[in-house]
Structure 1
Amino acid sequence: MDMILDLLLSKYQLFLLVMVRTSGIFIFSPFFSAQNIPNTMKVGLTFFISLLITSYLPITPDFNNEIILFVILKELMIGIIIGFISYSFFSIFYIMGQIMDMKIGFGMANVIDPLNRTQVPLMGNFYYILSFLLLMRINGHHLIISALVNSYDFLPIGSFKYTGDIVNILINSLAKSFEIGFKLSAPVVAIIFITDIVLGIISKTIPQMNVFVVGMPLKVIIGLLIIIISMPIFFTTIDSILDLIVNDIYKFIKM
Protein backbone atom coordinates (compact mmCIF):
# COMPACT_ATOMS: atom_id res chain seq x y z
CA MET A 1 0.00 0.00 0.00
CA ASP A 2 2.84 2.40 0.83
CA MET A 3 4.44 1.67 -2.54
CA ILE A 4 1.20 2.58 -4.32
CA LEU A 5 0.90 5.84 -2.38
CA ASP A 6 4.52 6.72 -3.10
CA LEU A 7 3.98 6.02 -6.80
CA LEU A 8 0.83 8.17 -6.94
CA LEU A 9 2.49 11.03 -5.09
CA SER A 10 5.66 10.96 -7.18
CA LYS A 11 3.92 10.49 -10.55
CA TYR A 12 0.46 11.89 -9.91
CA GLN A 13 0.35 13.84 -13.19
CA LEU A 14 1.47 10.82 -15.22
CA PHE A 15 -1.10 8.62 -13.46
CA LEU A 16 -3.88 11.11 -14.27
CA LEU A 17 -2.99 11.22 -17.97
CA VAL A 18 -2.63 7.44 -18.20
CA MET A 19 -6.00 6.98 -16.52
CA VAL A 20 -7.63 9.38 -19.00
CA ARG A 21 -6.32 7.37 -21.99
CA THR A 22 -7.39 4.10 -20.38
CA SER A 23 -10.84 5.51 -19.62
CA GLY A 24 -11.26 6.45 -23.28
CA ILE A 25 -10.86 2.81 -24.27
CA PHE A 26 -13.44 1.78 -21.68
CA ILE A 27 -16.01 4.05 -23.34
CA PHE A 28 -16.16 2.17 -26.67
CA SER A 29 -14.19 -1.06 -26.47
CA PRO A 30 -16.58 -4.06 -26.59
CA PHE A 31 -14.50 -5.91 -24.02
CA PHE A 32 -14.81 -3.25 -21.34
CA SER A 33 -17.82 -1.05 -22.16
CA ALA A 34 -20.59 -3.61 -21.52
CA GLN A 35 -23.49 -2.03 -19.65
CA ASN A 36 -24.07 -5.05 -17.45
CA ILE A 37 -20.62 -4.67 -15.86
CA PRO A 38 -20.91 -2.58 -12.66
CA ASN A 39 -19.41 0.89 -12.94
CA THR A 40 -17.46 0.34 -9.74
CA MET A 41 -15.74 -2.63 -11.36
CA LYS A 42 -14.93 -0.57 -14.45
CA VAL A 43 -13.50 2.24 -12.34
CA GLY A 44 -11.48 -0.23 -10.27
CA LEU A 45 -10.12 -2.00 -13.35
CA THR A 46 -9.27 1.33 -14.98
CA PHE A 47 -7.47 2.40 -11.80
CA PHE A 48 -5.34 -0.73 -11.50
CA ILE A 49 -4.49 -0.89 -15.22
CA SER A 50 -3.47 2.77 -15.09
CA LEU A 51 -1.43 2.10 -11.97
CA LEU A 52 0.46 -0.74 -13.65
CA ILE A 53 1.13 1.33 -16.78
CA THR A 54 2.30 4.26 -14.64
CA SER A 55 4.81 2.05 -12.86
CA TYR A 56 5.97 0.74 -16.25
CA LEU A 57 6.54 4.12 -17.92
CA PRO A 58 9.92 5.69 -17.11
CA ILE A 59 8.83 9.26 -17.91
CA THR A 60 7.62 11.94 -15.50
CA PRO A 61 5.73 14.66 -17.42
CA ASP A 62 5.59 18.17 -16.08
CA PHE A 63 2.85 20.24 -17.74
CA ASN A 64 1.64 23.55 -16.39
CA ASN A 65 -2.03 24.14 -15.59
CA GLU A 66 -2.70 25.93 -18.89
CA ILE A 67 -1.51 23.04 -21.04
CA ILE A 68 -2.70 20.08 -18.94
CA LEU A 69 -6.33 20.44 -20.10
CA PHE A 70 -5.34 20.16 -23.76
CA VAL A 71 -3.12 17.17 -22.97
CA ILE A 72 -6.04 15.49 -21.17
CA LEU A 73 -8.24 15.97 -24.25
CA LYS A 74 -5.53 14.49 -26.46
CA GLU A 75 -5.13 11.45 -24.21
CA LEU A 76 -8.89 10.95 -24.10
CA MET A 77 -9.08 11.07 -27.91
CA ILE A 78 -6.37 8.41 -28.22
CA GLY A 79 -8.29 6.06 -25.91
CA ILE A 80 -11.61 6.74 -27.65
CA ILE A 81 -10.15 6.08 -31.11
CA ILE A 82 -8.56 2.79 -30.00
CA GLY A 83 -11.85 1.71 -28.43
CA PHE A 84 -13.84 2.82 -31.48
CA ILE A 85 -11.65 0.79 -33.84
CA SER A 86 -12.20 -2.36 -31.78
CA TYR A 87 -15.95 -1.69 -31.56
CA SER A 88 -16.30 -1.01 -35.29
CA PHE A 89 -15.11 -4.52 -36.09
CA PHE A 90 -17.46 -5.98 -33.50
CA SER A 91 -20.34 -4.35 -35.36
CA ILE A 92 -19.64 -6.94 -38.09
CA PHE A 93 -21.79 -9.41 -36.18
CA TYR A 94 -24.70 -6.98 -35.88
CA ILE A 95 -24.52 -6.23 -39.61
CA MET A 96 -24.35 -9.91 -40.47
CA GLY A 97 -27.22 -10.72 -38.12
CA GLN A 98 -29.39 -7.87 -39.47
CA ILE A 99 -29.00 -9.10 -43.05
CA MET A 100 -29.74 -12.69 -42.03
CA ASP A 101 -32.79 -11.66 -40.01
CA MET A 102 -34.26 -9.70 -42.91
CA LYS A 103 -33.83 -12.64 -45.30
CA ILE A 104 -34.90 -15.40 -42.92
CA GLY A 105 -37.89 -13.55 -41.51
CA PHE A 106 -36.63 -12.61 -38.05
CA GLY A 107 -36.69 -8.90 -38.85
CA MET A 108 -39.78 -8.40 -36.66
CA ALA A 109 -38.32 -10.39 -33.77
CA ASN A 110 -35.60 -8.00 -32.61
CA VAL A 111 -34.50 -8.28 -29.01
CA ILE A 112 -33.05 -5.90 -26.44
CA ASP A 113 -29.29 -6.34 -26.05
CA PRO A 114 -28.48 -6.48 -22.30
CA LEU A 115 -24.90 -5.39 -23.00
CA ASN A 116 -25.70 -2.13 -24.79
CA ARG A 117 -29.41 -1.71 -23.88
CA THR A 118 -30.43 -1.18 -27.47
CA GLN A 119 -32.67 -3.00 -29.91
CA VAL A 120 -30.53 -5.39 -31.94
CA PRO A 121 -31.13 -8.17 -34.49
CA LEU A 122 -31.89 -11.60 -33.10
CA MET A 123 -29.09 -13.40 -34.94
CA GLY A 124 -26.81 -10.38 -34.54
CA ASN A 125 -27.17 -10.63 -30.78
CA PHE A 126 -26.44 -14.35 -30.95
CA TYR A 127 -23.30 -13.89 -33.04
CA TYR A 128 -22.13 -10.94 -30.93
CA ILE A 129 -22.35 -12.86 -27.65
CA LEU A 130 -20.74 -15.94 -29.22
CA SER A 131 -17.88 -13.92 -30.69
CA PHE A 132 -17.43 -12.08 -27.39
CA LEU A 133 -17.02 -15.39 -25.55
CA LEU A 134 -14.66 -16.77 -28.19
CA LEU A 135 -12.45 -13.67 -28.13
CA MET A 136 -12.34 -13.79 -24.35
CA ARG A 137 -11.38 -17.45 -24.63
CA ILE A 138 -8.38 -16.62 -26.86
CA ASN A 139 -7.44 -13.63 -24.65
CA GLY A 140 -8.46 -10.99 -27.16
CA HIS A 141 -8.92 -8.48 -24.34
CA HIS A 142 -5.26 -8.95 -23.44
CA LEU A 143 -4.31 -7.79 -26.93
CA ILE A 144 -6.34 -4.60 -26.44
CA ILE A 145 -4.55 -3.89 -23.15
CA SER A 146 -1.22 -4.71 -24.79
CA ALA A 147 -1.98 -2.24 -27.58
CA LEU A 148 -2.77 0.37 -24.94
CA VAL A 149 0.60 -0.19 -23.26
CA ASN A 150 2.48 -0.16 -26.56
CA SER A 151 0.72 3.02 -27.65
CA TYR A 152 3.01 4.98 -25.33
CA ASP A 153 6.01 3.86 -27.38
CA PHE A 154 4.55 5.39 -30.56
CA LEU A 155 2.26 8.08 -29.11
CA PRO A 156 3.96 9.62 -26.09
CA ILE A 157 1.86 11.72 -23.76
CA GLY A 158 0.81 15.00 -25.37
CA SER A 159 2.06 14.07 -28.87
CA PHE A 160 -1.34 13.30 -30.46
CA LYS A 161 -2.17 15.37 -33.55
CA TYR A 162 -5.44 15.16 -35.44
CA THR A 163 -4.87 14.51 -39.16
CA GLY A 164 -6.90 13.37 -42.12
CA ASP A 165 -5.18 9.98 -42.02
CA ILE A 166 -6.93 9.24 -38.71
CA VAL A 167 -10.30 9.87 -40.35
CA ASN A 168 -9.32 7.55 -43.21
CA ILE A 169 -8.44 4.78 -40.74
CA LEU A 170 -11.79 5.12 -38.97
CA ILE A 171 -13.71 5.17 -42.27
CA ASN A 172 -11.78 2.15 -43.56
CA SER A 173 -12.52 0.27 -40.33
CA LEU A 174 -16.25 0.88 -40.77
CA ALA A 175 -16.07 -0.01 -44.46
CA LYS A 176 -14.29 -3.27 -43.66
CA SER A 177 -16.91 -4.13 -41.04
CA PHE A 178 -19.74 -3.69 -43.58
CA GLU A 179 -17.84 -5.68 -46.19
CA ILE A 180 -17.02 -8.59 -43.88
CA GLY A 181 -20.53 -8.60 -42.41
CA PHE A 182 -22.05 -8.86 -45.87
CA LYS A 183 -19.62 -11.61 -46.93
CA LEU A 184 -20.37 -13.69 -43.84
CA SER A 185 -24.11 -13.41 -44.46
CA ALA A 186 -23.76 -14.18 -48.20
CA PRO A 187 -24.46 -17.96 -47.92
CA VAL A 188 -27.77 -17.37 -46.16
CA VAL A 189 -28.71 -14.56 -48.58
CA ALA A 190 -27.93 -16.71 -51.63
CA ILE A 191 -29.84 -19.78 -50.40
CA ILE A 192 -32.87 -17.75 -49.32
CA PHE A 193 -32.84 -15.96 -52.68
CA ILE A 194 -32.94 -19.32 -54.47
CA THR A 195 -35.72 -20.41 -52.11
CA ASP A 196 -37.76 -17.32 -53.02
CA ILE A 197 -37.35 -18.13 -56.72
CA VAL A 198 -38.48 -21.71 -56.15
CA LEU A 199 -41.48 -20.53 -54.13
CA GLY A 200 -42.36 -18.06 -56.89
CA ILE A 201 -42.29 -20.87 -59.47
CA ILE A 202 -44.45 -23.06 -57.20
CA SER A 203 -46.98 -20.24 -56.70
CA LYS A 204 -47.36 -19.95 -60.49
CA THR A 205 -47.51 -23.69 -60.97
CA ILE A 206 -49.88 -24.43 -58.07
CA PRO A 207 -52.03 -21.31 -57.50
CA GLN A 208 -54.06 -23.10 -54.83
CA MET A 209 -51.04 -23.29 -52.51
CA ASN A 210 -50.68 -20.43 -50.02
CA VAL A 211 -47.01 -19.67 -50.60
CA PHE A 212 -46.87 -17.06 -47.83
CA VAL A 213 -47.96 -19.55 -45.18
CA VAL A 214 -45.60 -22.23 -46.48
CA GLY A 215 -42.72 -19.92 -47.34
CA MET A 216 -42.22 -18.22 -43.97
CA PRO A 217 -41.52 -21.34 -41.86
CA LEU A 218 -39.64 -22.90 -44.78
CA LYS A 219 -37.23 -19.96 -45.00
CA VAL A 220 -36.72 -20.03 -41.25
CA ILE A 221 -35.87 -23.74 -41.30
CA ILE A 222 -33.55 -23.41 -44.32
CA GLY A 223 -31.90 -20.31 -42.87
CA LEU A 224 -31.20 -21.97 -39.53
CA LEU A 225 -29.81 -25.06 -41.27
CA ILE A 226 -27.44 -22.89 -43.34
CA ILE A 227 -26.36 -21.04 -40.19
CA ILE A 228 -25.57 -24.32 -38.46
CA ILE A 229 -23.69 -25.66 -41.48
CA SER A 230 -21.69 -22.43 -41.89
CA MET A 231 -20.80 -22.18 -38.19
CA PRO A 232 -17.24 -23.56 -38.75
CA ILE A 233 -16.64 -20.68 -41.18
CA PHE A 234 -17.70 -18.27 -38.45
CA PHE A 235 -15.27 -19.83 -35.97
CA THR A 236 -12.38 -19.51 -38.42
CA THR A 237 -13.10 -15.83 -39.02
CA ILE A 238 -12.82 -14.86 -35.34
CA ASP A 239 -9.00 -14.95 -35.43
CA SER A 240 -8.99 -12.93 -38.65
CA ILE A 241 -11.30 -10.29 -37.18
CA LEU A 242 -9.13 -10.05 -34.06
CA ASP A 243 -6.08 -9.58 -36.30
CA LEU A 244 -7.89 -6.77 -38.14
CA ILE A 245 -8.69 -5.06 -34.83
CA VAL A 246 -5.09 -5.24 -33.63
CA ASN A 247 -3.63 -4.25 -37.02
CA ASP A 248 -5.82 -1.16 -37.34
CA ILE A 249 -5.06 -0.12 -33.76
CA TYR A 250 -1.33 -0.37 -34.39
CA LYS A 251 -1.74 1.37 -37.74
CA PHE A 252 -3.29 4.27 -35.86
CA ILE A 253 -0.74 4.49 -33.07
CA LYS A 254 2.22 4.07 -35.46
CA MET A 255 1.00 6.81 -37.79
Structure 2
Amino acid sequence: MIDLSIQFPAFLLIFVRVTSFFLMMPLFSYRSIPTSAKIGLGFFMAMIMIFTVDIPEISIDSHYLLLVIKEALIGLLIGFIAYLILSAIQIAGGFIDFQMGFAIANVIDPQTGAQSPLMGQYLYTIALFFLLTVNGHHLMLDGIFYSYQFIPLDQPWIPFGNEDMAEYIIKAFNSMFVIAFQMSIPVVGSLFLVDIALGIVARTVPQLNVFVVGLPLKIGVSFIVLIAVMSIMLFVVSQLFETMLNTMRGLMEIIGGT
Protein backbone atom coordinates (compact mmCIF):
# COMPACT_ATOMS: atom_id res chain seq x y z
CA MET A 1 0.00 0.00 0.00
CA ILE A 2 1.46 3.34 -1.06
CA ASP A 3 1.17 6.18 1.44
CA LEU A 4 0.86 9.30 -0.72
CA SER A 5 1.45 11.58 2.26
CA ILE A 6 5.03 10.20 2.43
CA GLN A 7 5.67 9.19 -1.19
CA PHE A 8 4.64 12.41 -2.94
CA PRO A 9 6.89 14.88 -1.01
CA ALA A 10 9.81 12.44 -1.37
CA PHE A 11 9.08 12.03 -5.09
CA LEU A 12 9.28 15.78 -5.59
CA LEU A 13 12.65 15.91 -3.79
CA ILE A 14 14.04 13.05 -5.91
CA PHE A 15 12.71 14.71 -9.07
CA VAL A 16 14.44 18.01 -8.17
CA ARG A 17 17.81 16.32 -7.53
CA VAL A 18 17.71 14.25 -10.73
CA THR A 19 16.61 17.08 -13.05
CA SER A 20 19.12 19.56 -11.56
CA PHE A 21 21.79 16.89 -12.10
CA PHE A 22 20.81 16.72 -15.77
CA LEU A 23 21.25 20.50 -16.07
CA MET A 24 25.01 20.23 -15.47
CA MET A 25 26.03 16.65 -16.23
CA PRO A 26 28.03 16.10 -19.44
CA LEU A 27 26.13 14.58 -22.36
CA PHE A 28 22.69 15.01 -20.79
CA SER A 29 22.91 18.80 -20.41
CA TYR A 30 23.50 19.64 -24.07
CA ARG A 31 21.25 21.83 -26.17
CA SER A 32 20.66 19.08 -28.70
CA ILE A 33 18.57 17.23 -26.09
CA PRO A 34 15.15 18.95 -25.76
CA THR A 35 14.20 20.29 -22.35
CA SER A 36 11.01 18.25 -22.40
CA ALA A 37 13.11 15.09 -22.90
CA LYS A 38 15.32 15.98 -19.92
CA ILE A 39 12.30 16.63 -17.70
CA GLY A 40 10.63 13.43 -18.91
CA LEU A 41 13.76 11.37 -18.26
CA GLY A 42 14.09 12.90 -14.81
CA PHE A 43 10.41 12.20 -14.10
CA PHE A 44 10.62 8.53 -15.04
CA MET A 45 13.92 8.09 -13.18
CA ALA A 46 12.30 9.60 -10.09
CA MET A 47 9.33 7.24 -10.55
CA ILE A 48 11.71 4.26 -10.57
CA MET A 49 13.84 5.52 -7.69
CA ILE A 50 10.90 6.26 -5.39
CA PHE A 51 10.32 2.51 -5.05
CA THR A 52 14.00 1.56 -4.61
CA VAL A 53 15.34 4.30 -2.31
CA ASP A 54 14.83 4.26 1.44
CA ILE A 55 12.20 6.95 1.93
CA PRO A 56 12.14 8.72 5.31
CA GLU A 57 8.96 10.23 6.64
CA ILE A 58 8.74 13.65 4.98
CA SER A 59 5.87 16.10 5.17
CA ILE A 60 5.31 19.38 3.38
CA ASP A 61 5.87 22.00 6.06
CA SER A 62 7.95 25.12 6.66
CA HIS A 63 11.23 23.14 6.28
CA TYR A 64 10.24 21.48 3.02
CA LEU A 65 11.38 24.44 0.88
CA LEU A 66 14.87 24.18 2.41
CA LEU A 67 14.98 20.50 1.45
CA VAL A 68 14.01 21.39 -2.14
CA ILE A 69 16.79 24.01 -2.34
CA LYS A 70 19.25 21.52 -0.83
CA GLU A 71 18.33 18.84 -3.39
CA ALA A 72 18.74 21.29 -6.28
CA LEU A 73 22.16 22.38 -5.01
CA ILE A 74 23.29 18.77 -4.59
CA GLY A 75 22.30 17.88 -8.16
CA LEU A 76 23.99 20.98 -9.58
CA LEU A 77 27.15 20.47 -7.52
CA ILE A 78 27.61 16.80 -8.45
CA GLY A 79 26.91 17.52 -12.13
CA PHE A 80 29.31 20.48 -12.07
CA ILE A 81 32.13 18.30 -10.68
CA ALA A 82 31.59 15.79 -13.50
CA TYR A 83 31.60 18.61 -16.08
CA LEU A 84 34.70 20.15 -14.48
CA ILE A 85 36.72 16.94 -14.79
CA LEU A 86 35.72 16.38 -18.42
CA SER A 87 36.72 19.96 -19.25
CA ALA A 88 40.34 18.72 -19.08
CA ILE A 89 39.91 17.43 -22.64
CA GLN A 90 39.10 20.87 -24.03
CA ILE A 91 41.91 22.45 -22.01
CA ALA A 92 44.33 19.92 -23.49
CA GLY A 93 43.04 20.87 -26.94
CA GLY A 94 43.61 24.52 -26.09
CA PHE A 95 47.26 23.78 -25.21
CA ILE A 96 47.72 21.94 -28.50
CA ASP A 97 45.99 24.69 -30.53
CA PHE A 98 48.22 27.34 -29.01
CA GLN A 99 51.34 25.51 -30.19
CA MET A 100 49.89 24.60 -33.60
CA GLY A 101 48.81 28.13 -34.39
CA PHE A 102 45.10 27.31 -34.32
CA ALA A 103 44.38 29.33 -31.18
CA ILE A 104 42.94 32.19 -33.23
CA ALA A 105 40.37 29.94 -34.92
CA ASN A 106 37.92 28.93 -32.21
CA VAL A 107 34.63 27.28 -33.16
CA ILE A 108 31.19 27.45 -31.60
CA ASP A 109 30.31 24.28 -29.75
CA PRO A 110 26.71 23.53 -30.80
CA GLN A 111 26.15 21.50 -27.62
CA THR A 112 26.98 24.27 -25.13
CA GLY A 113 26.88 27.43 -27.28
CA ALA A 114 30.35 28.47 -26.08
CA GLN A 115 33.56 28.96 -28.06
CA SER A 116 35.99 26.06 -27.90
CA PRO A 117 39.37 25.35 -29.52
CA LEU A 118 39.47 23.29 -32.71
CA MET A 119 41.50 20.39 -31.34
CA GLY A 120 39.68 20.61 -28.04
CA GLN A 121 36.35 20.15 -29.78
CA TYR A 122 37.76 17.29 -31.86
CA LEU A 123 39.16 15.45 -28.84
CA TYR A 124 36.03 16.16 -26.80
CA THR A 125 33.80 14.63 -29.49
CA ILE A 126 35.97 11.51 -29.59
CA ALA A 127 35.86 11.34 -25.78
CA LEU A 128 32.05 11.53 -25.78
CA PHE A 129 31.87 8.68 -28.30
CA PHE A 130 34.26 6.72 -26.10
CA LEU A 131 32.11 7.53 -23.06
CA LEU A 132 29.04 6.12 -24.80
CA THR A 133 30.98 3.06 -26.00
CA VAL A 134 32.06 2.04 -22.49
CA ASN A 135 28.61 2.86 -21.03
CA GLY A 136 30.01 5.72 -18.99
CA HIS A 137 26.63 7.49 -19.13
CA HIS A 138 25.13 4.50 -17.30
CA LEU A 139 27.76 4.91 -14.59
CA MET A 140 26.85 8.59 -14.20
CA LEU A 141 23.19 7.63 -13.82
CA ASP A 142 24.26 5.04 -11.26
CA GLY A 143 26.07 7.84 -9.44
CA ILE A 144 22.93 9.94 -9.03
CA PHE A 145 20.99 6.80 -8.03
CA TYR A 146 23.45 5.73 -5.32
CA SER A 147 23.85 9.31 -4.10
CA TYR A 148 20.96 8.65 -1.73
CA GLN A 149 23.13 6.16 0.14
CA PHE A 150 25.53 9.00 0.99
CA ILE A 151 23.18 12.00 1.11
CA PRO A 152 19.76 11.08 2.53
CA LEU A 153 16.64 12.95 1.55
CA ASP A 154 16.01 14.31 5.03
CA GLN A 155 19.50 15.78 5.47
CA PRO A 156 18.67 19.47 5.98
CA TRP A 157 21.96 21.12 4.93
CA ILE A 158 25.12 20.99 2.82
CA PRO A 159 28.40 21.55 4.70
CA PHE A 160 29.71 24.42 2.57
CA GLY A 161 31.75 25.61 5.56
CA ASN A 162 33.60 22.28 5.78
CA GLU A 163 37.23 22.86 4.85
CA ASP A 164 37.51 19.28 3.56
CA MET A 165 34.87 20.04 0.93
CA ALA A 166 36.65 23.18 -0.29
CA GLU A 167 39.97 21.34 -0.37
CA TYR A 168 38.42 18.44 -2.28
CA ILE A 169 36.97 20.71 -4.97
CA ILE A 170 40.34 22.49 -5.32
CA LYS A 171 42.08 19.13 -5.73
CA ALA A 172 39.53 18.16 -8.40
CA PHE A 173 40.26 21.46 -10.17
CA ASN A 174 43.99 20.74 -9.91
CA SER A 175 43.63 17.19 -11.25
CA MET A 176 41.78 18.58 -14.27
CA PHE A 177 44.85 20.62 -15.28
CA VAL A 178 47.23 17.72 -14.55
CA ILE A 179 45.25 15.39 -16.83
CA ALA A 180 45.05 18.10 -19.51
CA PHE A 181 48.83 18.48 -19.34
CA GLN A 182 49.28 14.69 -19.62
CA MET A 183 47.07 14.59 -22.72
CA SER A 184 48.74 17.50 -24.46
CA ILE A 185 52.40 16.93 -23.56
CA PRO A 186 53.22 14.57 -26.51
CA VAL A 187 52.10 17.12 -29.09
CA VAL A 188 53.24 20.20 -27.18
CA GLY A 189 56.64 18.62 -26.47
CA SER A 190 57.11 17.67 -30.12
CA LEU A 191 56.20 21.17 -31.28
CA PHE A 192 58.64 22.62 -28.77
CA LEU A 193 61.42 20.59 -30.40
CA VAL A 194 60.22 21.80 -33.80
CA ASP A 195 60.47 25.41 -32.55
CA ILE A 196 64.04 24.77 -31.39
CA ALA A 197 64.92 23.28 -34.77
CA LEU A 198 63.36 26.24 -36.60
CA GLY A 199 65.31 28.63 -34.37
CA ILE A 200 68.57 26.86 -35.25
CA VAL A 201 67.66 26.94 -38.95
CA ALA A 202 66.83 30.67 -38.72
CA ARG A 203 70.29 31.37 -37.30
CA THR A 204 72.19 29.16 -39.73
CA VAL A 205 70.19 29.95 -42.89
CA PRO A 206 69.00 33.56 -42.53
CA GLN A 207 67.75 33.60 -46.14
CA LEU A 208 65.00 31.14 -45.20
CA ASN A 209 61.77 32.70 -43.93
CA VAL A 210 60.97 30.44 -40.96
CA PHE A 211 57.60 32.16 -40.42
CA VAL A 212 56.42 30.94 -43.81
CA VAL A 213 57.90 27.44 -43.42
CA GLY A 214 57.23 27.00 -39.72
CA LEU A 215 53.42 27.16 -39.66
CA PRO A 216 52.67 24.35 -42.15
CA LEU A 217 55.55 22.32 -40.71
CA LYS A 218 54.16 22.56 -37.17
CA ILE A 219 50.65 21.69 -38.37
CA GLY A 220 51.93 18.63 -40.21
CA VAL A 221 54.04 17.46 -37.26
CA SER A 222 51.07 17.97 -34.94
CA PHE A 223 48.78 15.72 -36.97
CA ILE A 224 51.47 13.04 -37.32
CA VAL A 225 52.07 13.02 -33.55
CA LEU A 226 48.31 13.04 -32.86
CA ILE A 227 47.82 9.96 -35.04
CA ALA A 228 50.76 8.24 -33.31
CA VAL A 229 49.61 8.92 -29.73
CA MET A 230 45.82 8.72 -30.16
CA SER A 231 45.67 5.33 -28.43
CA ILE A 232 47.60 6.74 -25.46
CA MET A 233 45.22 9.70 -25.32
CA LEU A 234 42.22 7.36 -25.20
CA PHE A 235 43.89 5.52 -22.32
CA VAL A 236 44.25 8.84 -20.47
CA VAL A 237 40.60 9.60 -21.27
CA SER A 238 39.59 6.28 -19.70
CA GLN A 239 41.52 7.30 -16.58
CA LEU A 240 39.71 10.64 -16.78
CA PHE A 241 36.33 8.88 -16.62
CA GLU A 242 37.49 6.89 -13.60
CA THR A 243 38.69 10.10 -11.95
CA MET A 244 35.34 11.75 -12.68
CA LEU A 245 33.34 8.93 -11.05
CA ASN A 246 35.66 8.74 -8.04
CA THR A 247 35.47 12.51 -7.61
CA MET A 248 31.66 12.43 -7.70
CA ARG A 249 31.63 9.66 -5.09
CA GLY A 250 34.12 11.45 -2.85
CA LEU A 251 32.14 14.69 -3.02
CA MET A 252 28.93 12.87 -2.10
CA GLU A 253 30.69 11.25 0.87
CA ILE A 254 31.85 14.66 2.12
CA ILE A 255 28.41 16.22 1.69
CA GLY A 256 26.77 13.27 3.45
CA GLY A 257 29.31 13.38 6.28
CA THR A 258 30.41 9.76 5.76
TM-score range for the pair, normalised by the shorter chain length: over 0.9
Give the match for residue 158 of structure 2.
Answer: 161
**Any idea what the Cα deviations from partners look like across 1:18-72, whole Å, max 9, x if unmatched?**
0111122112110210111111111111111111111212424323421011111
Give the match for residue 125 of structure 2.
Answer: 129
Q: How far apart are the structure 1 equivalents of 2:86 and 2:4?
A: 35
Q: How far apart are the structure 2 equivalents of 1:26 and 1:7?
A: 28
The amino acid across from 2:197 in the alignment is: V
The amino acid across from 1:215 in the alignment is: G
Between the aligned residues of both structures, percent identity stands at 35
Q: How far apart are the structure 2 equivalents of 1:25 and 1:64?
A: 23
Counterpart of 1:35 (choices 12, 31, 41) is 31
Query: SS at 2:200's partner residue?
Result: helix
Give the match for residue 93 of structure 1.
Answer: 89
Q: Provide TM-score, normalisation by structure 1.
A: 0.93
Query: SS at 2:62's partner residue?
Result: helix
Query: SS at 1:57's partner residue?
Result: coil
**Any idea what the Cα deviations from partners look like across 1:58-113, whole Å, max 9, x if unmatched?**
42432342101111111111111110111111101111000000001111111110
State the Cα distance separating 1:10 from its structure 2 match. 6.1
Q: How far apart are the structure 2 equivalents of 1:48 and 1:10?
A: 18
Give the match for residue 116 of structure 2.
Answer: 120
Q: 1:180 to 1:22 in 2, by over 3 A?
A: same
Deviates further, 176-185 or 161-170: 161-170
Give the match for residue 236 of structure 2.
Answer: 237
Query: SS at 1:55's partner residue?
Result: coil
- The answer on whether the counterparts of 2:88 and 2:179 sit within 8 Å (CA) in structure 1 is yes
Residue 16, structure 1, aligned to residue 12, structure 2: yes
Q: Provide TM-score, normalisation by structure 2.
A: 0.92
Query: SS at 2:28's partner residue?
Result: coil
Query: SS at 2:115's partner residue?
Result: strand
Give the match for residue 72 of structure 1.
Answer: 68
Q: Which runs of 5+ in 1 are unaligned?
A: none
Residue 204, structure 1, aligned to residue 233, structure 2: no
State the Cα distance separating 1:172 from its structure 2 match. 1.2
Residue 53, structure 1, aligned to residue 53, structure 2: no
